[in-house]
Amino acid sequence: GEDVEQSLFLSVREGDSSVINCTYTDSSSTYLYWYKQEPGAGLQLLTYIFSNMDMKQDQRLTVLLNKKDKHLSLRIADTQTGDSAIYFCAERGNTGTASKLTFGTGTRLQVTL
């Protein structure tokens, strides 16, 4: 089946940029997503990218997609303490509107002062 992998932990200083990486195996992925989960809460969609794009920017967030290498990254500029959370990447295969998302293992981002 599909597999999505992420590094487990990232620590950055406030004001620096954070880069969270994700690799996936499904070559038929249509959309790829980044979700944020704060402690004890559900998931909040941050951004998504269609598979025929290689970059998407939304304010402090930049998503880069290397479809050939099946590598997705999320860059957070000027990281703030409020960005501390778990970040999940997810991919959606090409099996119609009922297709499910496969989530990565999550990367815990810790922002230090």
Partner 1 sequence: GAVVSQHPSWVICKSGTSVKIECRSLDFQATTMFWYRQFPKQSLMLMATSNEGSKATYEQGVEKDKFLINHASLTLSTLTVTSAHPEDSSFYICSARGGAGQNTGELFFGEGSRLTVL
Residue 104 lies near partner 1 (rule: CB under 8 A)? yes
For residue 99, give the H/E element and its range.
none
Instruction: State the Rg of the chain over Cα.
Output: 14
Which region among 19-27, 57-65, 76-84, 90-98 touches partner 1 (by CB under 8 A)? 90-98
Residues with Cβ within 8 Å of residue 96, at least 6 apart in sequence: none
Residues 111, 33, 39, 6: is their CA dihedral positive or negative? negative
Looking at the DSSP bridge assignments, the partners of residue 78 are none
For residue 18, give the H/E element and its range.
strand 18-24
Residue 35 lies near partner 1 (rule: CB under 8 A)? yes
Between 8 and 77, name the residue whose CB sits nearer to partner 1: 8
Residue 88 lies near partner 1 (rule: CB under 8 A)? yes
Residue 100 lies near partner 1 (rule: CB under 8 A)? yes
Amino acid symbol at 113: L
- Binders of partner 1 among residues 37 to 66 (CB under 8 A) are 40-45, 48, 50
Which residues of this chain interact with partner 1, rule CB under 8 A?
30-31, 33, 35, 40-45, 48, 50, 88, 92, 97-101, 103-106, 108
